[in-house]
Structure 1
Amino acid sequence: MSRQFVTEAVMMAIYGQLLVPRSPVEYIVPYTTVMELYELRDSDEPLMSHAEDDQHVKLKIRELIAYFEEPLNSKKINRCLNIPWAKSSGILLGSHAQITIINGVDNATYGEAFDPIETELLLTSQREKVPILTDQFELIQRIIEGGVPVQVYDIDDFDFAMEEETFRSSH
């Protein structure tokens, strides 16, 4: 059984280690975060503090967009877009990683405390009973402070999060 996490599509571009995990993993990604890739690609705003890193991440974003636009992958994604909360079939991202797109619907459950994409991540995590994987320390803090009933991991703890599930499921 593969480990599952809810995350944003841009995390795949920024953190290459997510694409080469040591054991099977499925990333459940709200469709709005896939659309956000286009905005990030076209933006002049730097995503990373170092120009070299920024160029690398923007290249990875373009590669990820191109991969999602390949006919088979595009067909998988488009199938889930007509029904709220429908999921695409898995899109392989390497030998152990796959991504599943979910047509999340932000219904402003968390009001002003979380932006629409954060709300979709929270709602997806709750619906799927899967932890969130993020690099946004402030988001993690707000989840904890707000008592939001989801499990969340910092991307820096990715290896631990992968082991955590293995440990849990073996006991």
Structure 2
Amino acid sequence: MTRIFVTEAVMLAIYGQLLVPPTPVEYIVPYTTILELYELHASEEQLMNNTADDQHVKMKIRELISYFEEPLNKKKIDRALQVPWAKSPMIPVGESTTVTVMNTLDTATYGEAFDPIETELLLASQKAEAPILTDQYELIQRIVESALPVQVYDIDDFDFALEIPMS
């Protein structure tokens, strides 16, 4: 049975273990987070504390951008962009890993408590009935404090999240 998580595209570039899970996983990725990859790649700011790690992550971001730009993958993504909240056909990114791109929209549902990408993650999680996977402790804390109707896992708990029985 395939596990489904909602996450940002950059998480797939930063955390390589997400692409080689022990069981099949589908990641639902809001389209705006793919656009964010371009910004992060072009940015002069360091994403990681260590220079070697930063160069590695930027290389992985570039590889992910290139992969999403391949004609078949681009066609799948473009298909989802025709209708709000539509999902692309699955894009394989590993032996047991796929990405589905969702054409999310920031509807300001959560006001100023969450930024636009966080809002899209929350709404995608609700629509897909799938937990969010993130490394942003502050986001996890705000979700819990707000008692939002979504599950959220820290990336450090990814293996644990895979073991939780699906409902």
Pairwise TM-score range, normalised by the shorter structure: over 0.9
Cα distance between partner residues in 1 of 2:137 and 2:58: 22
2:77 alignment partner, SS class:
helix
Aligned to 1:10: 10
RMSD: 0.7
2:28 alignment partner, SS class:
strand
Aligned to 1:155: 155
2:164 alignment partner, SS class:
helix
1:54 alignment partner, SS class:
helix
Letter in 1 for 2:75: K
TM-score (norm 1): 0.96
Aligned to 1:91: 91
Q: CA deviation at 1:82?
A: 1.3
Question: 1:62 and 2:78 equivalent?
Answer: no
1:82 alignment partner, SS class:
coil
Matches within 5 A, 1:124-135: 124-135=124-135
Cα distance between partner residues in 2 of 1:105 and 1:24: 27
TM-score (norm 2): 0.99
Matches within 5 A, 1:21-170: 21-165=21-165, 168=166
- Residues 67-122 of structure 1, C-alpha deviations (whole Å, 9 max, x = no match): 00000000000001010000000000110000000000110000000000000000
Q: Structure 2 stretches of 5 or more lacking a match?
A: none
Give the percent of matched residue pairs that are identical in Structure 1 and Structure 2: 70
Q: Structure 1 stretches of 5 or more lacking a match?
A: none
- Runs of 4+ in structure 1 off by over 4 angstroms are none
Q: CA deviation at 1:54?
A: 0.3
Q: CA deviation at 1:138?
A: 0.2
2:22 alignment partner, SS class:
coil
